[in-house]
Amino acid sequence: MTLSPEARLYGILDLGYVEERDALSVAESLILGGASLLQLRAKGHDPAELLDLANDLNVLCSKHHVPFVVNDHLQLAKECGAPGLHLGQDDGSISEARAILGQHILIGRSTHSVEQAQAALAEGADYIGFGPLFPTPTKKGRPGIGLENIALVESSVGCAIPVFCIGGIKPANLAEVQEAGAMRVVIVSHLLQASDIFAETQLITTQLKI
């Protein structure tokens, strides 16, 4: 599977912000608002207890023709038949994941430096997350890496695979992030804490169009 070149906004359903009972409605709001792919992030949750939710999210995403991505949990991705898996720096190799899930799987890698971004491309990632640009409550205690390397990562990696900038991005700094060279973003806490998730996602999507 490959991502559409039109993909601009990566939506993340983070169970640190969203109650499981609200997960499907929040996911649909993100998708209808314009998220081009949707990730289930569930830090601290037992993957075995997430299978029903993952199955439901996979069906929802398929209905809207949006790739569903499981964060970290390879076995959960396999069991629910998710078309995508996202790996952190310490979550194993992409080749091993493909050996288990199949060559068709969409695999992303989190990166925090130019060197990691270039290594992910060489390893065969289908896309990368690059950040956190700013300090963010989603990654407590991790300093922001700033904006100065966005253009270099876009020119050296983004020419081959999508680069999604992540970390503390919100409407107040989105223009600054774009001016630094970013073409695609991940926005988590701002969207998930919005009073109207659909409307706020739609607004961000409009600002990202080029």
What residues are labeled active site?
A: 41, 110, 139
Alpha-carbon distance 97 to 82, whole Å? 13
Select from 54, 109, 110 the least CA-distant residue to 83.
54
Alpha-carbon distance 93 to 46, whole Å? 22
Identity of residue 38: L
Alpha-carbon distance 182 to 70, whole Å? 24
> For residue 98, what are the CA distances in angstroms to 58, 85, 132, 150, 181?
19, 10, 26, 28, 31
Select from 206, 205, 201, 179 the least CA-distant residue to 190.
201
Q: Strand, helix or coil at 177?
A: helix
> Token pair for residue 91?
């979550």
- The CA radius of gyration of the chain, in Å to the nearest whole number, is 16
DSSP 9-75: EEEEEETTTS-GGGHHHHHHHHHHHT-SEEEEE-TTS-GGGGHHHHHHHHHHHHHTT--EEEES-HH
